[in-house]
Amino acid sequence: MQKETQELVNKGEMLPLMEEFYTIQGEGFHKGTAAYFIRIGGCDVGCHWCDVKESWNADIHPPTEINQIVDNADKYSKTIVITGGEPLTWDMGPLTKKLKDKGMQVHIETSGAYKLTGIWDWICLSPKKIKLPTPEIYEKAHELKVIIYNKNDFKFAEEQAEKVNNNCILYLQPEWSKRDKMMSQIVDYVMQNPKWKVSLQTHKYLNIP
């Protein structure tokens, strides 16, 4: 990557864009809502069950001017979901400012492992054991979405629920490949611990991106 381009990426004026698409948010509080997804490359959290491993290496995703990303989004939706990868690998300030200037609702899906940057209408915090969130994001998260891969994850979910703010909505979501095995345990757990809600990856059942 050229030095000038790298500098712009470092400032959040360009971002490694993996893909962008208009679809239905399948998960969590806003499930069922039409939204434009912007998937930013780059993540070194390293979840072994990650379903977007091709996002990890930022170098294979083209550095893209944020004005172009905003113009593309503006053609489709006023609800924007920024995901990854781990979007907080980068400074989200410049992109989210431009999206907000267009009157958009801007959501993020993040592990929270890095400094929180950007202006957000909705923060979905999906913490990962191997790289825990920063203290700041627990205070600001609107929803906590813990992925349940095996039964040990219920304990992790409770530890994370202890840390979030009181208004944060709590979700347990089966990891896709383990959904058949874990779903009945999640249902039982939520019935016994009704502060939690079940989140499903409904877009995968609908066979949409």
Task: Give the footprint of ligand SF4 on this chain (CB under 6 A).
Answer: 43, 45-47, 50, 52, 55, 84-86, 111, 128
Q: Is 168 annotated as a binding residue?
A: no
Residue 160 Cβ vs ligand SF4, minimum distance, rounded to whole Å: 14
Alpha-carbon distances of 169 from 166, 198, 199, rounded to whole Å: 8, 11, 11
Alpha helices in the chain (DSSP H): 3-10, 66-74, 93-101, 135-140, 152-163, 179-192, 202-206
Q: In whole angstroms, give the CA distance from residue 129 to residue 205.
A: 27
Q: In whole angstroms, give the CA distance from residue 198 to residue 184.
A: 11
Alpha-carbon distances of 59 from 41, 131, 166, 167, rounded to whole Å: 8, 22, 39, 38
Q: Is 25 annotated as a binding residue?
A: yes
Q: Is 124 annotated as a binding residue?
A: no
Q: Quote the DSSP letter at residue 191.
A: H
Residue 16 Cβ vs ligand SF4, minimum distance, rounded to whole Å: 13
For ligand SF4, the closer of residues 56 and 120 by Cβ is 56
For ligand SF4, the closer of residues 87 and 98 by Cβ is 87
Residue 198 Cβ vs ligand SF4, minimum distance, rounded to whole Å: 19
Residue 49 Cβ vs ligand SF4, minimum distance, rounded to whole Å: 7
* 28 neighbors 5 (Cβ within 8 angstroms): no
Q: Binding site: what residues are annotated?
A: 24-26, 39, 43, 47, 49-51, 83, 85, 126-128, 209
Q: Residues within the annotated binding site for S-adenosyl-L-methionine?
A: 49-51, 85, 126-128
Tell me the binding residues for substrate: 24-26, 39, 83, 209
